[in-house]
Amino acid sequence: MERRLRVVFVLMLLALPLAIALSRPLSSTEVFAQPEGTQPPPVIIPIEGTPEPTPFPTATPVIGAHGLLMIDIRRDLEIMADDQFGVGTRPEGWNVGVNLYDAQLTLLTRSDLELMATTLINPASRPRGWMFAFDSTEFAEARDVRYDLELLADLIYGVNNRPQGWVGGDPLLRCNRATQALVSLLERGGIFRLDVPANDAEFCRKAELQVTQFTETAILANAQLDTLFTDSFFILEPQQTGENAVAFLDTGATRRVGVIPRATPIRIIARSYSQFSNMMLVSGPDFEVFVDYTTTTVTAEQFRRLPNVESLEINPNCFATWCGGAP
């Protein structure tokens, strides 16, 4: 009996630590403890729905000169439509909500301009000189829309009177096609500069007279030109200076202003027609000077076909870093 009691007592002593351990709550660390050498399972967080992907920013459309011109034309057309029909009111068939960057902007604007003219005048009448649609370059087609819009505005509001907010544009765009084309050609060739104030009430008439007078006296009457409008007459390709390109402010080479650095890009304008003279008028971003053509990449044949500098309005000057004693 005594022996059994001892065995029971020993078993109770051995079970006491286990009973104590089971009697207290386990911590969260102990509950999720992992055996040494093992990685804990990944934590999974529930997500309600799938988020929308962040959109990439839309690139600004790249548009050329005709596109910029058409944007201003469209705005003026809408300004005139608001003034004539009422804000938000348009004739049936009008292209409402046109995107200014639409590739068909010129076509849509021409269509709405014709509709406006039909509504304000009548289907069979257009202002004198109306160009209508004309198959040409993108810029020329945009130019024609501006020209016709200005004609219609002249008829409705009077010359040089426009609704509030009117953008307008280059006054040359209000002149006829022939004047615009001739001025653009000669100015691009670097031999002519139109000199008429933009706000002159007779801008187009004076521009036409000025450019035709230059063409007749400096080109058509030029005895040294046996072939007109050749690439050797209009020196459109880039030219450069060579060694010892000394710059002067006069054809007599008495007012020296410096030496143009070698390989400097230059625009060819005209030459001196004085006997035995090699002087040629050239320009850059910050200078307009005379140089001996033999110190440039211009050939003798190209030099011979240049217009007479005395037929142009020029302004020799020199403000480049290589200029010495520039005025």
pLDDT at 306: 85
Q: How many helices (H) and strands (E) would you count in the chain?
A: 8, 7
pLDDT at 152: 94
pLDDT at 118 over 80: yes
The residues that bridge with 260 in the sheet, in sequence order, are 245
pLDDT at 122 over 80: yes
pLDDT at 62 over 60: no
Token pair belonging to 29: 């660390």
Contact (Cβ atoms closer than 8 angstroms) between residue 210 and residue 203: no
Q: What is the mean pLDDT of residues 24-52?
A: 49
Token pair belonging to 164: 């509030």
Helix axes 138-157, 65-85, angle to 10 degrees: 20
Q: Cβ atoms within 10 A of the Cβ of 46, count?
A: 4
Contact (Cβ atoms closer than 8 angstroms) between residue 262 and residue 241: yes
Contact (Cβ atoms closer than 8 angstroms) between residue 190 and residue 268: yes
pLDDT tens-digit series, residues 125-141: 898 889 888 777 888 89
Could you give the percent of the chain with pLDDT greater than 90? Answer: 38
Of 180, 275, 188, 181, nearest to 224 by C-alpha is 275
Token pair belonging to 61: 């459309």
Most confident of 109-118, 126-135, 220-229: 109-118
Q: Whose structure tokens read 């409705």? A: 156
Contact (Cβ atoms closer than 8 angstroms) between residue 214 and residue 189: no
Contact (Cβ atoms closer than 8 angstroms) between residue 244 and residue 264: no
pLDDT at 322: 93
The residues that bridge with 105 in the sheet, in sequence order, are none
The residues that bridge with 247 in the sheet, in sequence order, are 258
Q: What is the mean pLDDT of residues 97-114?
A: 91
pLDDT at 42 over 50: no
| pTM listed for this prediction | 0.53
From residue 112, alpha-carbon distances to 137, 155, 189 in Å are: 20, 17, 36
For residue 44, what pLDDT band results from cuts at 50, 70 and 90? very low
- When comparing pLDDT for 120 and 327, which is higher? 120
pLDDT tens-digit series, residues 143-183: 999 999 999 999 999 988 999 999 998 899 889 889 998 99
pLDDT at 30: 46
pLDDT at 218 over 80: no
Token pair belonging to 288: 């307009």
For residue 272, what pLDDT band results from cuts at 50, 70 and 90? very high
For residue 258, what pLDDT band results from cuts at 50, 70 and 90? very high
Across the chain, mean pLDDT equals 80
Separation of alpha carbons 134 and 281, rounded Å: 38
Of 160, 70, 145, 81, nearest to 116 by C-alpha is 81
- When comparing pLDDT for 26 and 190, which is higher? 190
Separation of alpha carbons 47 and 68, rounded Å: 48
Separation of alpha carbons 66 and 140, rounded Å: 8
For residue 324, what pLDDT band results from cuts at 50, 70 and 90? confident
Q: What is the mean pLDDT of residues 84-96?
A: 93
Separation of alpha carbons 2 and 9, rounded Å: 11
